[in-house]
Chain A
Amino acid sequence: MGPPDDPRKRFEEIYMAYYPALMAYVRRRVDAPDDAADALAETFLTAWRRIDQMPPGQEARLWLYGVARKVLAGGRRNARRQEGLAVRLRAELATWTAPPPDPELDAVRQAFGRLKDDDRELLSLVGWEGLSASQAATVLGCSPGTARIRLHRARKRLARELGAGGLDLSRYGSRAAALGGGRS
């Protein structure tokens, strides 16, 4: 039923393996350092409480993304702020200096920003977290087929946004250009 090992040991292994990935997931979707730290704390706290439900191996990462996604959607993270959890982490994130974004890609960012949340999340899971469509489906709680169709449409919509923004899509690859041109 439950994990064969000591739950703390198991949690620790999962935590050490996937903390950076979850940190990245949260940081990429949350601007304020405090919010990011709180969301990360809430995600792993939830995972710890539900360790019996945590799948083994690589699946755990997808499961954790799913937890983080719900945490971000629910805004529950704010409740932790007063509780004193992750104090050091908050300080670290507050002083963390990210490299400046490449200004050449501003137009791409803007086009991406004009997409609907669902499209952005699906494209991000693939492009940022490096997931396949079926892995993204696990995170989103839909069927792989549905994820594939939605992903195809999201790519198409982004290509159109890029084209609508007056971007020379050939700069980004001929196939992007072809996709942006196919409006039907």
Chain B
Amino acid sequence: MKADIDGLVARIAPDPGPGMTPGGRELLDEITAVRPEPVAGTSPWRRLRVALPVTAVLAAVVLAVTWALPGDSRSLGLGAGPAAALDVTTKGGYYLVTVEDMYADPARYQAQLRHLGLDITLELVPATPAMWGTAVGPGPIGGGITTIEGTGDCLRRDPCTIGLKVPRDFRGQATIRLARKARPGEKYVLIAPIDAPGEPLHCTGYAGRTVDEVRALLRVRGVTNVRFATAEGAREQVPGSWIAHDGVMSAPDAALLLVGPTQDRPDAPGPVSSPDPCRPS
């Protein structure tokens, strides 16, 4: 007798929200910016506030950049491939949807999902290595959709999302974005600070150093395509004595640095990364 009532309650479950998002990752960094304290005593917040200007604004990932990516920030296209884009099996009352072709035309994912009667929009977007294998936007979605974790191109300790588990009677609407590797020449849609784990300047302390020095750091890491964002807009070249203040990888082989003539950060709208994400272990 209990199953029906519980099932009925389950069916009125409100929307679970977007799951893990860049904001969720940022919150993790904000919270752990201060070492845990014993419960007794005052809130750690006062100390956390001090740490916040460094870590709060952008510790993880940005979806769109203003000072970054001069020109077009869209991907260069997701060419259609041959076989099925998704592998779908059924298990119990669920569809197990795994991504067969990471580079398929998005319309092919949609077509397959619609064919199953699922109103789910799945996007595979080129991402910086720090983001590979993560689901951005929704995690578990309304109606009991969850992500499937497995072995994949995941750089970090994150669970690597390789697919979705969808109740076969799912009748809602959902949009899910999975981060994948970028192809050569493709620009990132999901980016991370250039010193995030997995990025070329991780733990190099590049911020505050000259453009020449940072170029050299990048060169030894195989990145020779460097462009610049300045207070006056995007530039292809700047004096080597200028100072690097921030940076992202805009494509697998292309860096974009926020630079200015002095140690004062230029006033350009866009993400603000933590200067040094290295933390003592």
Binding site for B on A (CB under 8 A): 6-9, 11-13, 15-17, 19-21, 23-24, 26-28, 36-37, 40-41, 44-45, 48-53, 80, 83-93, 96, 98-99, 101-102, 105, 108-109, 112, 123-124, 126-128, 130, 151-152, 155, 158-159, 162, 172-176, 178-179
Contacts and interface: CB of A to CB of B under 8 A. Distances in A.
A172 B5 CA distance: 8
B157 A7 contact: no
A129 B174 CA distance: 19
B interface majority secondary structure: loop
Contacts of A172: 4, 7-8
B256 to A, nearest CB: 21
A102 B36 contact: no
Interface in B24-62: 24, 26-28, 30-32, 35-39, 44-45, 48-49, 52, 56-57
Contact of B23 (A16, A53, A91): A91
27 contacts: A7-B36, A20-B16, A20-B139, A21-B140, A23-B16, A23-B139, A26-B17, A40-B27, A41-B27, A41-B31, A48-B36, A51-B36, A83-B45, A85-B30, A85-B52, A86-B23, A86-B30, A89-B24, A93-B18, A101-B14, A105-B12, A108-B11, A109-B12, A128-B14, A155-B2, A179-B1, A179-B5
B6 interface: yes
Contact of B1 (A52, A102, A155): A155
A41 B256 CA distance: 32
B281 A9 contact: yes
Nearest to B174: A99
Contacts of A44: 27-28, 31
Please list the 10 inter-chain residue pairs (A to B) with the smallest Cβ-Cβ separation, ordered nearest first: A127-B9, A24-B16, A20-B139, A98-B15, A89-B23, A173-B4, A88-B23, A27-B17, A176-B4, A20-B19
A28 B16 contact: yes
Contact of A19 (B3, B37, B139): B139
> Which one of A11, A128, A158 has the highest number of Cβ atoms from chain B below 10 Å of its Cβ?
A128
A60 to B, nearest CB: 15
B52 A84 contact: yes
> Which one of B1, B11, B45 has the highest number of Cβ atoms from chain A below 10 Å of its Cβ?
B1
A30 B90 CA distance: 34
B252 to A, nearest CB: 25
A91 B24 CA distance: 11
